[in-house]
Amino acid sequence: MNSIRVPLRRAYRLLHPKLVTVIGASAHGETNFMPASWVMPASFDPPLLVAAVGEERYTLGLILDSGEMTVNPVGPDLIPLVEELGSLSGREADKASLAGTLAAEKVSAPCLPGALACIEARLRSTHPAGDHVLVVAEVVAARAWRCFDAETHAYREGCGPVYHVGGHTYMEPGRYVEWGRR
């Protein structure tokens, strides 16, 4: 059977598209945001999430120093902001002024204005993973601003987070498939 041999460095693309979030972090008077699509739930009880954060990201130091972070899923309307936040480092740019900030309830890290939701989390452990660090954090608060259904606890069809395909390509939220329903 014909197949496409995928270079090992690009094999991660077979696991994309991935939901786009923006991580917020704040330490020693510095506040920063970075887009991150390598973020996923890791445990129900306690509620844990894991983010793969590049070793050289300015945000990583802020998370490690404060022990806190926010994870903010975003909709397609925020693609321009995501592209800007992802093209600059907090070492050189004041990305908090660029994006604005919204106070979180339980952590010092800021929520991102305009995001669909804000998940607040406290650092539990870190694990080296090549050129990234796996940051495991416990969810201590979570609020959704829009698109999220309070009863089903699911994003409403067509109104959810945007997905990162790779490079500068994104995928809009699409149609749901209900198994067994015709």
Ligand X SMILES: Cc1cc2nc3c(=O)[nH]c(=O)nc-3n(C[C@H](O)[C@H](O)[C@H](O)COP(=O)(O)O)c2cc1C
Q: For residue 164, state whether it binds ligand X (rule: CB under 6 A).
A: yes
Q: Looking at residues 71 to 100 of the shown chain, list those that interact with ligand X (rule: CB under 6 A).
A: 82, 86, 88-90
Reduced to 3 states (helix: H, G, I; strand: E, B; else coil), residue 78 is: helix
Provide the H-helix boundaries in the chain.
58-66, 79-87, 95-99
Contact in structure between 49 and 40 (CB atoms under 8 Å): yes
Distance in Å, CB of 75 to ligand X, minimum: 13
Residue in 26, 31, 59, 70 binding ligand X, rule: CB under 6 A: 59
Does residue number 50 form part of the binding site for ligand X (CB under 6 A)? Answer: no
Closest distance of CB 20 from ligand X, Å:
5
Candidate residues 19, 27, 50, 53; the one interacting with ligand X per rule CB under 6 A: 53
What is the end-to-end Cα distance of the chain in Å, rounded? 33
Q: What is the largest CA-CA distance in the chain?
A: 58
Residue closest to 69 by CA, chosen among 129, 11, 128, 133 = 133
Query: Judged by CB, which is closer to ligand X: 124, or 132?
Result: 132
Min separation Cβ 142 and ligand X, Å = 19
Q: How far is the CB of 1 from ligand X (least distance, A)?
A: 33
- Token pair of 181, please? 């329903």
Residue 20 per-residue DSSP state = -
**Residues near 111 by Cβ (< 8 Å), separated by ≥ 6?**
24, 70, 72, 101, 102, 103, 104, 118, 120, 143
* Contact between 37 and ligand X per CB under 6 A: yes
CA atoms within 13 A of residue 30's CA, in its CB half-sphere: 18
Preceding amide of 17 cis, omega within 30: yes
Residue of the chain from 19, 34, 99, 104 that contacts ligand X (CB under 6 A): 34
Is residue 52 at the binding interface for ligand X, with CB under 6 A as the rule?
Answer: yes
Region binding ligand X by CB under 6 A among candidate stretches 29-37, 65-73, 121-129, 173-181: 29-37
- For ligand X, the closer CB: 16 or 122: 16
Which residues bind to ligand X, rule: CB under 6 A?
20, 32, 34-38, 52-54, 57-59, 82, 86, 88-90, 132, 164
